[in-house]
């Protein structure tokens, strides 16, 4: 059974966003969008999370932090890069201190573009991520079975 899809808990991390995307992510929790309808909870804790939502590009200060947090999310897990900065670095791409998008340090499963990304597209991105999450779980199960 795929309960994973019915109960995705997400962790929201602001890499170096201008807070525009962060506000949109939080907007998803408000009564208007209410993502808890889908069982989505915003946990503050990587050890409880299934979906890693990152806003903003990677800079030298948080490169290691993002890696650490990603490592601390138990499998199966997916990464959603929200906003154009998280997907590619955006307008900051060429800055001296920006490494680029999130995929420079950890594997990203879903890219949600936009500046800022709209709540609808964020929700859409997360729902897409749930499919990938489910695939990963099946793969994990198979590996356990074969191991």
Partner 1 sequence: MTSIIAAIAYLVLAPLVGGLISGIDRKITARMQGRVGPPILQPFYDVAKLFEKEDVTVTPSQNTFILSYLVFMALTGALFFAGEDLLLVIFAFTLAHVFIVLGAYAAFSPYSYIGAERELISLMAYEPMIILTAVGFYLVTGSFYVGDIAASQAPAILYLPGVFVGFLTILTIKLRKSPFDISTSHHAHQELVKGLTTEFSGATLGKIEIAHWYETVVLLGIVYLFFGFNPLLALVAIAVTYVLEIFIDNTFSRMKWQTTLKSGWGAAAILGFLNLVVLYYFYLGV
Partner 2 sequence: MNELIFLIVFPTIIAFILLLLSNNRMRHAIVACSALVISAASIYLLATSYARGAVYYTVPFEPTSLVMFAIEMGIALLLLWLGIRFKQYIAIILVLIQSALMLFYEFTMGMGMEPVRNLFFDQFSIIMAMIIGIIGSLIAVYAVSYMQTYHDHHPEVRDRRRFFFFVTFIFLAAMFGLVFSNNLVWVFFFWEITTLASFLLIGYAESEEATKNAFLALKMNLLGGIAFAAAIIYLASADPAGGLLELDALIASGQAVALVPAVLISFAGLTKAAQMPFSGWLVGAMVAPTPVSALLHSSTMVKAGVYIIVRFAPVLAGSLAGASIGFVGAVTFLVASGIAISQSNAKKVLAYSTIANLGLIVACAGVGTYKLIWAAIFLIIFHAIAKSLLFLCVGTVEHRTGSRDIEDMDGLIVRMPRLAVMMFVGIAGMFLAPFGMLISKWAAIEGFIDAPFGLLFITILAFGSAMTVFFWAKWMGKIIAVTPYGENVEGTVSREKWAVLSILTALTVLAALFFPLISSGLVEPYLLGVFGETARLAQDNVIIMVLMISLLLILPLSFPFYAKEEKRMPAYMGGRPVTADLRFAGSAGIERTMTTRNYYFTEYFGEGKLLRYANPICILLILLAGAIAAGAVL
71 binds, among partner 2, partner 1, none (CB under 5 to 8 A by kind): partner 2
Q: Considering only residues 26, 65, 91, 115, which one is a binding residue for partner 2 as defined by CB under 8 A?
A: 65
Cβ closest to partner 2, residue 13 vs residue 111? 13
Site residue total, partner 2 (CB under 8 A): 12
Least Cα distance to 117 among 80, 92, 64, 79 occurs for 80
Rounded-to-integer distance, Cα 82 and Cα 111, Å: 6
Is residue 135 near partner 1 by the rule CB under 8 A? no
Instruction: Determine if the peptide bond prior to 52 is cis (ω within 30°).
Output: no
137 binds, among partner 2, partner 1, none (CB under 5 to 8 A by kind): partner 1
Each residue 20-39 as x (binds partner 1 by CB under 8 A) or -, in order, gives -----------x--x-xxxx
3-class DSSP assignment, residue 99? strand
Rounded-to-integer distance, Cα 48 and Cα 13, Å: 14
68 binds, among partner 2, partner 1, none (CB under 5 to 8 A by kind): partner 2
Alpha-carbon radius of gyration of the chain: 15
Each residue 40-69 as x (binds partner 1 by CB under 8 A) or -, in order, gives --xxxx-xx-x-------------------
Contacts of residue 25, defined as CB under 8 A and 6 or more positions apart, other chains included, come to: 12, 53, 55, 82, 119, 122
């Amino acid at each position: 059974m795929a309960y994973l899809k019915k109960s995705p808990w997400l962790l929201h991390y602001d890499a170096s966003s201008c807070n525009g995307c962060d506000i949109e992510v939080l907007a998803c929790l408000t009564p208007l969008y209410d993502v808890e309808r889908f069982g989505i909870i915003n946990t503050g804790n990587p050890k409880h999370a299934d979906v890693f939502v990152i806003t903003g590009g990677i800079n030298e200060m948080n490169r290691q932090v993002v890696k650490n947090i990603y490592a601390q999310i138990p499998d199966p897990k997916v990464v959603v890069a929200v906003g154009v900065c998280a997907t590619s670095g955006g307008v900051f791409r060429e800055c001296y201190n920006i490494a680029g998008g999130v995929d420079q340090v950890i594997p990203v499963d879903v890219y949600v573009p936009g500046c800022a990304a709209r709540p609808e597209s964020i929700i859409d991105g997360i729902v897409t991520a749930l499919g990938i999450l489910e695939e990963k779980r099946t793969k994990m199960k198979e590996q356990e079975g074969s191991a």
